[in-house]
Amino acid sequence: MTIPVIAIDGPSASGKGTVAARVAAALGFHYLDSGALYRLTALAALEEEISWDDEAELAGLAAELPARFDGDRVFLFGEDVGDEIRSEAIGMGASKIAAYPAVRAALLARQRAFREAPGLVTDGRDMGSVVFPDATLKIFLTASAGERAQRRYKQLIDKGESANLQQIREDIEARDARDAARTVAPLRQEPDAQRLDTTALSIEQAVETVLTWYQSLSRSPC
């Protein structure tokens, strides 16, 4: 049987990572945060003094990325970098290098290798369109820019970091525009993806919606 995949795509700070992780836990599936691979590549480039403008060097780094996932923890060069890769600066760097075709190609096989029984839940920008075009369920999860900025602002404040709400919103909107305009795997809703707007939903409501959609497909006759 084909190993089922739930592919959740959407813009930055829409909550797709949290929703995907909880759906995976509820189903007992594996989970892939595809954005972490690009963030890790951006961070590794900084540590190796490779410019984010050097596509060839970045692709080579991505192909041999010394990264490891252990549950919720993320390791680079043997060090836990879970907090570091979630910084705004690394997020912007990841968005920049993700536009390079050579980098995306280098990471494609690594992402597909996460597809193991009993199933996979993955989130990103092109999970349903490029990485897993045969996904069992495709979802485009989004929220208004204002709501996403509020969520990111709260995350930073809760961690004791300084944050400017207006700047966060401007950064989110700039990243949306850049991700949608790139020529390779642009951010967009695929025709066969279900749209889930979480602006007015709690995490629990969003998770329940995804589970209901998946269970409905699972019960459908072949």
Each residue of 80-105: pLDDT tens digit? 999 899 888 898 899 899 889 999 99
Q: Is 118 annotated as a binding residue?
A: no
pLDDT at residue 86, as a whole number: 86
177 is a domain residue:
yes
Which has the closest alpha carbon to 108: 51, 12, 32? 32
> Confidence class of residue 170 from pLDDT cuts 50, 70 and 90?
very high
221 is a domain residue:
no
pLDDT at residue 179, as a whole number: 84
Residue in this structure with the two tokens 């695929």, named with its chain if needed: 190
Q: Is 16 annotated as a binding residue?
A: yes
Tokens of 144: 């208004």
Q: Is 4 annotated as a binding residue?
A: no
Q: Is 186 annotated as a binding residue?
A: no
Q: Is 42 annotated as a binding residue?
A: no
Range(s) of the domain holding residue 66: 5-216
Which has the closest alpha carbon to 105: 169, 60, 39? 60
Q: Is 59 annotated as a binding residue?
A: no
Q: Is 124 annotated as a binding residue?
A: no
170 is a domain residue:
yes
222 is a domain residue:
no
Does position 3 have pLDDT exceeding 60, yes or no?
Answer: yes
Does position 72 have pLDDT exceeding 80, yes or no?
Answer: no
Contact 80, 73 (CB under 8 A): yes
> Confidence class of residue 178 from pLDDT cuts 50, 70 and 90?
confident
Q: Is 15 annotated as a binding residue?
A: yes
> Confidence class of residue 221 from pLDDT cuts 50, 70 and 90?
low
144 is a domain residue:
yes
Q: What CATH number is attached to the domain comprising 199? A: 3.40.50.300
Each residue of 26-63: pLDDT tens digit? 999 999 988 899 999 999 999 999 999 999 999 999 99
pTM for this prediction: 0.86
Note the maximum CA span of the chain. Answer: 54
Does position 159 have pLDDT exceeding 90, yes or no?
Answer: no
- Tally the domains of the chain: 1
Neighbouring CB atoms inside 10 A of 127's CB total 30
- Average pLDDT, integer, range 151-165: 91
Q: Is 12 annotated as a binding residue?
A: yes
211 is a domain residue:
yes
Does position 109 have pLDDT exceeding 60, yes or no?
Answer: yes
